[in-house]
A = this chain, B = another copy of it.
Amino acid sequence: MYTRRIAAMRVPATAVSHSRDRNKKALPDPMARLVMKFGGTSVADIDRIRNVARHVQREVAAGNEVAVVVSAMAGKTDELVALCKDASRNYDSREYDAVVATGEQVTAGLLAIVLQDMGIPARSWQGWQVPILTSEAASAARIAQVKGEHILAGFLAGEVAVVAGFQGLHAATGRITTLGRGGSDTSAVAIAAAIKAERCDIYTDVDGIYTTDPRVVPKARRLDRIAFEEILEMASLGAKVMQVRSVELAMMKRVRTYVRSSFDDPADPRPGTLICDEEDIVEQQVVTGIAFSRNEAQITLRRVADRPGVAAAIFMPLAEAHVNVDMIVQVASDDTVTTDITFTVGANDYERALAILEKAKATVGYAALQGAVDVAKVSAIGIGMRSHAGVAALAFKALSEKGINIRAITTSEIKFSILIDAAYTELAVRTLHTLYGLDQV
């Protein structure tokens, strides 16, 4: 359920035994239409842009029509953001968008130049040129429509389209918008949907999606396929692979999306992980992956009056202060009249949350406010849980056998999360990884 960051340009063949690799045959035949998206680290300098061009070259040589979506060169966006912040602490988001969008504009132009230099006809497209039409909300615009005609006309002329990611046009005002951080993934998926691409390849600095963090579990396995729903659950659990909106969009528009490595040998890349519909996963495991987050804090309110409106009295002030609350558990107290409420917040928000709740003591009416920061959340995700009962119960048994105390539990349709002492994180992750048959054989 995690990704493996790879430092070398090419992982030696011996390091990637793919005994379970079934998705090679899932790659479409030549003469397809596809979108290739490359993030900031993949285009960090001209040499890396040349490497990206070689990936494009391979797909073009195979007879594919290719639209490439690029992010800003690594570090550039931060530089531009810093300039805006220097200019004013309360900068106009619309002007911020105009400034920051230049990062992708530069990469798109440079990649087009490099492609041409390799003899591949190419043209850069900015958001307003495609156009990628968005809502007005500056710095957080949502794509309303991608007009694919110009790109398709370019394909007919044998041209690769190099599209600046992350940006769009609000037609009524004629202004540049940006989609928020990570928005290039969304650009790529939206373009793939608009031009009816057979697939959308998200090239990153990782080689796919893993059953869990390989640094914690050496036996972690790269997944050939993962369902949209599963990857969406992952996002809220600390595993950063793709922007949530891009996955939602891919799911809604049914875009076959691969997460794969731009640092593979362009002549012989690995296929990565396909994000697809549930029904496209033939050998569905009950649990697909184990996610975890150490950055948690637990807060418990003891003996809260069990009356309507009490939850609002607790959680509204937190929401107003932009404290994200997770894993809410409510159980009757031992007096059977009041109730105990436990929830988690980000460790960064812990002190602030306590202060807010102390201020709200009179309106909430609790007996004691308790908390802990050395806690971790471990989650198991799998769409197979829908049809399998007792999946979580197996975990509780296995963890208790290892002497791991469970502080709280929440479950949803396709995942369950447990809160434990942070010291047991690795042990818990490894235990569950083995329990659900995820270890590499």
Residues on A close to B: CB < 8 A?
Answer: 46, 49, 80, 83-84, 86-88, 90-92, 94-96, 98-99, 101-102, 105-106, 108-110, 112-114, 116-117, 123-124, 126, 128-129, 150, 174-176
| A82-B110 Cα distance, complex, nearest whole Å | 11
The answer to whether residues A99 and B109 also contact, given A46-B83, A83-B46, A128-B128 and a CB cut-off of 8 A, is yes
12 contacts between A and B (CB under 8 A): A46-B87, A83-B110, A84-B109, A87-B110, A87-B114, A91-B117, A95-B124, A98-B109, A98-B124, A98-B126, A99-B110, A102-B106
The answer to whether residues A109 and B126 also contact, given A87-B114, A116-B88 and a CB cut-off of 8 A, is no
CB < 8 Å neighbour of A108 from B98, B108, B114, B174: B98
With a cutoff of 8 Å between Cβ atoms, the chain B residues found around residue A106 in the complex are: 80, 83, 99, 102
| B128 adjacent to A113 (CB under 8 Å) | no
| A117 adjacent to B88 (CB under 8 Å) | yes
| A16-B245 Cα distance, complex, nearest whole Å | 62
Do most interface residues of chain A lie in helix, strand or loop, or is the interface mixed?
A: helix
| A87 adjacent to B102 (CB under 8 Å) | no
With a cutoff of 8 Å between Cβ atoms, the chain B residues found around residue A112 in the complex are: 92, 95, 98
| A117 adjacent to B90 (CB under 8 Å) | yes
Looking at the assembled complex, report how far the CB atom of A309 sits from the nearest CB atom of chain B, in whole angstroms.
43
Instruction: Known A-B contacts: A84-B109, A88-B114, A126-B176. Give 10 more (CB < 8 A).
Output: A80-B106, A84-B110, A87-B117, A88-B117, A90-B117, A91-B117, A96-B113, A101-B105, A129-B174, A129-B175
| A128-B113 Cα distance, complex, nearest whole Å | 22
| A92-B159 Cα distance, complex, nearest whole Å | 14
Write the chain B residue with the least CB distance to A97. B109
| A129-B128 Cα distance, complex, nearest whole Å | 10
Looking at the assembled complex, report how far the CB atom of A405 sits from the nearest CB atom of chain B, in whole angstroms.
52
| A110-B98 Cα distance, complex, nearest whole Å | 9
| A92 adjacent to B80 (CB under 8 Å) | no
With a cutoff of 8 Å between Cβ atoms, the chain B residues found around residue A46 in the complex are: 83, 86-87
10 A-B pairs with the lowest CB-CB distances in the bound complex, closest first = A102-B102, A99-B109, A88-B117, A87-B113, A98-B109, A46-B86, A95-B109, A91-B113, A95-B112, A95-B113
| A13-B209 Cα distance, complex, nearest whole Å | 69
| A84-B174 Cα distance, complex, nearest whole Å | 28
| A412-B3 Cα distance, complex, nearest whole Å | 74
With a cutoff of 8 Å between Cβ atoms, the chain B residues found around residue A113 in the complex are: 84, 87-88, 91-92, 95-96, 99
| A116 adjacent to B98 (CB under 8 Å) | no
| B88 adjacent to A109 (CB under 8 Å) | no
Looking at the assembled complex, report how far the CB atom of A127 sits from the nearest CB atom of chain B, in whole angstroms.
12
| A176-B126 Cα distance, complex, nearest whole Å | 10
| A105 adjacent to B102 (CB under 8 Å) | yes
| A117-B88 Cα distance, complex, nearest whole Å | 6
With a cutoff of 8 Å between Cβ atoms, the chain B residues found around residue A108 in the complex are: 98
With a cutoff of 8 Å between Cβ atoms, the chain B residues found around residue A86 in the complex are: 46
With a cutoff of 8 Å between Cβ atoms, the chain B residues found around residue A110 in the complex are: 83-84, 87, 95, 99
Looking at the assembled complex, report how far the CB atom of A91 sits from the nearest CB atom of chain B, in whole angstroms.
5
Write the chain B residue with the least CB distance to A108. B98
With a cutoff of 8 Å between Cβ atoms, the chain B residues found around residue A94 in the complex are: 123
